[in-house]
């Protein structure tokens, strides 16, 4: 699974929207039996992460992210690989690492622009050209179509919650 931070415009899509979109993608991914058994290896590409985005990554959202990753989401994160993370990412990591369990913290790997280091974890034959891989540049059109085709499933999943005393659903 691959996430590109540079595509995020926080003024058009607040971080809450991004977290919901990531959740949708992860919920779709765990429907695969192989993912249920083997878990996730994630690449997060921080190229293009700017000061414009940094203020929107609040400690509250980092806490929610860490809590969901460790205690709520029913998938197993085997590894999270950060690539092209610049000096601004250090601010995020300084907060996030305080919120992660030691076991999960060890599963975060930082590669910067060193794709040879990334290749120790992912063979170039399964990586796109952006990561000095053998595949063409990353194209998410197939995944987007798949996500659109599962809209009813996701709507059902997000309708679950607890009943409040006034009979309104709570999430």
DSSP H helix total and E strand total for the chain: 8, 6
CATH fit for domain 56-140, picks 3.40.50.1360, 3.40.50.150, 3.40.525.10, 3.30.300.180: 3.40.525.10
Paired sense of beta strands 108-112 and 40-45, if any: unpaired
**Nearest-angstrom CA–CA distance, 12 and 67:** 25
List C-alpha distances in Å: 49 to 45, 80, 91: 9, 17, 12
Please name which of 49, 59, 146 lies closest in space to residue 97, comparing C-alpha atoms. Answer: 59
3-state secondary structure (DSSP) of residue 87: coil
- The pTM for the full model equals 0.83
- Delimit the domains of the chain by residue range: 56-140
Instruction: Render each residue's pLDDT in the chain as its tens digit; 171 residues.
Output: 666 777 788 899 888 888 888 888 888 888 999 989 999 899 999 998 888 888 888 999 899 989 988 998 888 899 999 999 988 899 999 999 999 999 999 999 999 999 999 999 999 999 999 999 999 998 888 888 988 998 999 888 888 877 667 656 555
């Amino acid at each position: 699974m691959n996430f590109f931070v540079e595509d995020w415009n926080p003024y058009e899509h607040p971080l809450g929207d991004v977290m919901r979109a990531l959740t949708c993608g992860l919920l779709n991914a765990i429907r695969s039996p192989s993912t249920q058994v083997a878990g996730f290896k994630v690449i997060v590409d921080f190229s293009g992460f700017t000061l414009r985005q940094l203020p929107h990554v609040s400690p509250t959202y980092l806490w929610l992210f860490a809590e969901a990753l460790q205690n709520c989401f029913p998938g197993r994160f085997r590894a999270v690989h950060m690539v092209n993370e610049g000096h601004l990412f250090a601010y995020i990591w300084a907060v996030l690492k305080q919120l992660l369990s030691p076991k999960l913290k060890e599963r975060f790997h930082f590669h910067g622009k060193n794709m040879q280091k990334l290749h120790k974890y992912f063979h170039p034959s399964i990586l796109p050209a952006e990561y000095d891989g053998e595949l063409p540049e990353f194209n998410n059109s197939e995944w987007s179509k798949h996500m659109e085709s599962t809209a009813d499933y996701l709507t059902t999943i997000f309708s679950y919650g607890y009943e409040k005393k006034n009979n309104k659903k709570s999430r």
